[in-house]
Amino acid sequence: MTFEKYLNVPIEELQDWARQQDQSDPLRHFRAQFYVPVRQNKPLIYLCGNSLGLQPKAALEAIKTELDTWQNHGVEGWFEGTQPWLFYHKYGQKELANVLGAQPAEVCSMNQLTVNIHLLLTSFYNPTPQKFKILTIAGDFPSDQYALETHLQSRGMLPQNALIEVAARAGERTIRTKDLLAAIAEHQSSLALVFMSGLNYYTGQLFDMPTITQAAHAAGVAVGFDLAHAIGNVPLQLHAWGVDFATWCSYKYLNSGPGGVSGVFVHQNHHDRNLPRLAGWWGYDEARRFEMTKGFVPMQGAAGWQLSTPNILSLAVHRASLAIFEEAGIENLRQKSRQLTAFLELMITRANQRTNKNWIEIMTPQHPDERGSQLSLLVAENGRELFDFLLHNHIVGDWREPNCIRLAPAPLYNTFEEIAEVGRCLELAQFV
Ligand SMILES: Cc1ncc(COP(=O)(O)O)c(C=O)c1O
């Protein structure tokens, strides 16, 4: 979709266009399924779903159901009621698999994201004296960097010897796929693993996961992705792409609440391999778990990576949220997301045109296939003032020092009219 012809029209025309777009939007009814925070009697324009997604109205009922079970059944809640807690990780499994393009047995909701990174590295990072390096991207989310650094140290490796970080070229903001592929080929003889984010939290760059996976496999190494910013944002085909493992969090685009449960994907190809793992009783063969015998026997598939008694209240919200994705369809959401983000891009381009300078640089790739919903803006002048001004006008993004504003329209609850309002506010910003 191109919005070029709208660069010079009055903002009122764009507001009209946006209202029409909202009226004909087949996903418009989903907004009513969320609580949109209100300030001074006005709903916020919430463009922060890349950090914490909004609360689905169904969350409260989902939690209440489990509180009632606890109230009425006590410990028997694990075995009684319409949905015994013992099998809770299975309840949203199909919906989760659909969001990831996976087989149900390949996915399991469990733990928190950084914990899962360590668990999966334990299984998939199997260094030898010749092949011991991990290839990743420079500037990945700090927790991923700390996980890699300390995981390597815990295996007796020096991160400075074992970590290859592929960076953007000088003067560029994002990383070229061909540079990633070249690095994989160059280090093939010493490489043990590729692990990186599928979509970068800071730049908003969506990586070409299938191509990276192919290259890693051609080099004889496994590949894993952190999908924190990709899941629920862009369609994924983890099974078909042959990705070996992945993990994510559910509190961003998946709207499953602050600190919501994470999950893992382990490709079917690995289910019958006896991979090393750090085990816990919840990953033990479910039929015999309560025999409490010695010697770990894993459950088949991703569920075998579980460690601990699951947090049922968190899983309940996750399940309610996944049901919304199942109903909306990830491909439909992506289609609307592309349009919302392109419309937002138009608003930024208009602001630059009005101020007659490159006031706001969009560092996120321009090509819709190379980004999700998020646009990361580098504001050359008065960035903090702009962020505060947007907030004052009920527009919520997030701020990253020294001059970055991230805005991420979420197709489940954001509207075109809201994006037009961002454009109107940018026209009013008189401090550049
Ligand atoms: C890409 C990425 N990795 C890791 C994390 C850390 O997640 P957690 O605190 O759930 O372990 C985040 C959190 O936002 C993230 O965005």
**Which helix (H) or strand (E) element contains residue 382?**
none
Cα angle 282-288-292, degrees, rounded to a multiple of 5: 75
Residues near ligand 1 (Cβ within 6 A)? 112-114, 141, 143-144, 197, 201, 226, 228-229, 249
pLDDT 10s digits, 23-69: 999 999 999 999 999 999 999 999 999 999 999 999 999 999 999 99
- Residue-range domains of the chain with CATH: 4-35+330-428 (3.90.1150.10), 62-328 (3.40.640.10)
Confidence (pLDDT) at 179: 98
Is 410:49 a contact under the CB 8 Å cutoff?
A: yes
Report the alpha-carbon distance of residue 121 to residue 154 in Å, rounded. Answer: 11
**Mutation test of ligand 1: which of 114, 229, 314, 374 has the most ligand atoms closer than 8 Å to its C-beta?**
114
Instruction: Over range 150-173, report the average pLDDT.
Output: 97
| Position 358 confidence tier, pLDDT thresholds 50, 70, 90 | confident
For residue 140, which atom of ligand 1 is closest to its CA? 1
Cβ neighbour number for residue 161 with a 10 Å cutoff: 10
Instruction: Over range 293-314, report the average pLDDT.
Output: 96
Report the alpha-carbon distance of residue 250 to residue 110 in Å, rounded. Answer: 10
In degrees rounded to 5, what are phi and psi of residue 246? -160, 160
Instruction: Over range 83-107, report the average pLDDT.
Output: 96
pLDDT 10s digits, 389-400: 999 999 999 999
**Mutation test of ligand 1: which of 110, 116, 119, 141 has the most ligand atoms closer than 8 Å to its C-beta?**
141
**Does the pTM of the predicted model rise above 0.85?**
yes
Confidence (pLDDT) at 2: 65
Cβ neighbour number for residue 280 with a 10 Å cutoff: 16
Query: Which class for 71: exposed (0-12), middle (13-18), buried (19 or more C-beta within 10 A)?
Result: exposed
Is 415:22 a contact under the CB 8 Å cutoff?
A: yes
| Position 3 confidence tier, pLDDT thresholds 50, 70, 90 | confident
Instruction: Over range 140-147, report the average pLDDT.
Output: 98
Cβ neighbour number for residue 182 with a 10 Å cutoff: 13
Strand partners, 164: 135
Mean pLDDT of all residues in the chain? 96
| Position 280 confidence tier, pLDDT thresholds 50, 70, 90 | very high
Instruction: Over range 92-117, report the average pLDDT.
Output: 98
Q: Decide if pLDDT at 291 tops 60.
A: yes
**What DSSP letter does each residue of 229-285 carry, written as one string?**
TTTTTS---HHHHT--EEEE-SSSTT---TT---EEEE-GGGTTS-------GGGB-
- Strand 375-379 and strand 360-362: the pairing is antiparallel
Q: What separation, in Å, do the N-terminal and C-terminal C-alpha atoms of the chain show?
A: 30
**Mutation test of ligand 1: which of 110, 201, 203 has the most ligand atoms closer than 8 Å to its C-beta?**
201
Confidence (pLDDT) at 81: 81
Confidence (pLDDT) at 230: 98
